[in-house]
Amino acid sequence: MRTPLGWAASRWTLSPRALRWATTAALIVSIIIVFTGGLVRVTGSGLGCPTWPTCDGTSIAPSAELGIHGIIEFTNRMLTTVIVIAVGWVIIAARLQSPRVRSVTRLAWSQFWLVVANAVAGGITVLVKLNPWVVALHFVLAIALLATTTLTWHRVHEKRPGPDGTVSRSTGILAWLLVGVTVALIVFGTMVSGAGPHSGDSADVPRMQLDWTTFTIIHGALGALVFGLAVALFATNRGTDARAGLIRRRLIVFVVVVLAQGLVGTLQALTGLPATLVSFHLLGAALVWVGALRVLLDVHPALFASVGRQREHEDRETPVYS
C-alpha cells in the first residue's frame, strides 16, 4: 500500500536545495531549543506553566496571573511547534528527492520520533514537579535530537564523492573516543546542573543528592580530556591530501569552541553561577556536541550512509548534494 508521501513522490519532486534548507532549519531550531531550555531552568520558569499539556489546566496559553515565568515556559513549549514544522519539512523534502536516499529519509523520521519523545519527556517533567532526574533525561533527549539533525545536515550537505585520502587507524579510534568522552561530558554536566542551584526552578525544587563539587571536578576533567583528544587527533592526522586538510580545519574550529566553553564554565564556577553564563554554557554544550559529531563524520564519512546504498543502487544514480 502506497503512503501519502509515496503518492506525492510519484507526482512531484523537490530540489536538493530545498532539502539543504530544511535540514539547516531543523539543526538551527534544535540548537535554539537547548538554549531556551536553559533559559527556562536558570530563570526559575520550569513550572511557569504548572500543568501539561495545557498551561494552567484550562488554556494552552498562560494567563496573566502566571506572569513572566508562564510566558518563558510557554515560549519554550511553542518552539516544539517550530521544530515539528522544520522536521516535517525535512521528511517531505527527503521523500520527494529523485532519486530518494533512504538513509536521509530514515534520519529525517528519527528526528520526528525524538521530537515526540522530547515533548512527552517535557510533559512528564512538569507533571513530576521538575524531578531533577527527569529534567536531566529531557536534556539528554534534546541532545539526541540534536545528534540526528546534525547527522542529517551533514549527509545532505556533504560533497560526494568524499575527500580523497585515508586516515590512520589511530585517528579513527581517537575520533570515536572523542565522541564517547563528549557524551560522558554532557551526561556529567546534567548531573552538575541537577545537583546545583539551577535545576529548573526555585530552591524549593529537589536537587540530585550528589556531591556537587565532586561532580563539577569530574565534569571539568572530562572537558580537559575532550580538549586533549582533539589535540591528539590533530597530531595524528598528518596527511597532505584534501581529506586530512578538511579534518584539521574541523578540529581547529572544534578546539576553539571547546576552549570557549571551558572559559565560560570556569567563569560561571568562579562567579557564583550567574544565570546568563549558565545559559550560554548550555548553548556551548550543544555546539561542542555538534562539533564532535562533525569531526567523527569527517574521519568516518561512510557512517550512516550504508543504509541508503541499496536504494541508491536500485535507482542507478547517487545524488550529489553540494
- The answer on 83 and 22 residing in a single domain is yes
CA dihedral over 150, 83, 37, 116, signed as positive or negative = negative
**CA–CA gap between residue 300 and residue 312 (Å, rounded):** 20
CA distance 258 to 99: 39
pLDDT higher than threshold 50 for residue 308: no
CA dist., res. 219 & res. 187, Å (int): 9
- 156, 28: one domain: yes
Lowest mean pLDDT among 1-5, 110-114, 214-218, 297-301: 1-5
**Which pLDDT belongs to residue 20?**
93
**Which of 44, 219, 199, 184 has its CA nearest to residue 132?**
199
Residues 141 and 275 in one domain: no
pLDDT band at residue 307 using 50, 70 and 90 as cut-offs: very low
Whether residues 278 and 315 fall in one domain: no
Q: Average of pLDDT values for 238-244?
A: 75
Q: Do 23 and 97 lie in a common domain?
A: yes
Are 167 and 178 in the same domain? yes
Q: Let me know whether 222 and 289 are in one domain.
A: yes
Q: pLDDT tens across 50-76, in order?
A: 888 888 777 888 877 778 878 888 888
In which domain, by residue range, is 242 found?
163-300
Does residue 172 sit within a domain? yes
How many whole angstroms separate alpha carbon 37 and alpha carbon 260? 20
> What is the pLDDT at residue 218?
94
- In one-letter notation, the amino acid at residue 196 is G
**In degrees rounded to 5, what are phi and psi of residue 204?**
-70, -20
**Which residue's entry shows cell 550567574?**
274
d(CA 256, CA 213): 26
- pLDDT of 207 strictly over 90: no
The DSSP call for residue 307 is G
Please indicate, yes or no, whether residues 167 and 284 belong to a single structural domain of this protein: yes
Alpha helices in 128-241, H assignment, sequence order: 132-157, 169-195, 212-236
DSSP code of residue 43? T
Handedness of CA 239, 256, 41, 152 (dihedral sign): negative
- pLDDT (average), residues 185-205: 76
pLDDT tens, residue by residue, 35-53: 888 888 777 777 788 888 8
* Biggest distance spanned by C-alpha atoms of the chain: 64
Of 28-42, 115-129, 244-258, 268-282, the one with minimum mean pLDDT is 268-282
Say if residue 130 is in the same domain as residue 100.
Answer: yes
Exposed, middle or buried by CB within 10 Å (0-12, 13-18, 19+), for 226?
buried
Percent of the chain with pLDDT over 90: 40
Quote the number of domains for the chain: 2
The verdict on residue 3 lying in a domain is: no
Considering the domain architecture, whether residues 144 and 189 belong to the same structural domain is answered as: no
Give burial (CB, 10 Å; 0-12/13-18/19+) of 12. Answer: exposed
Residue among 200, 194, 206 at smallest CA distance from 46: 200
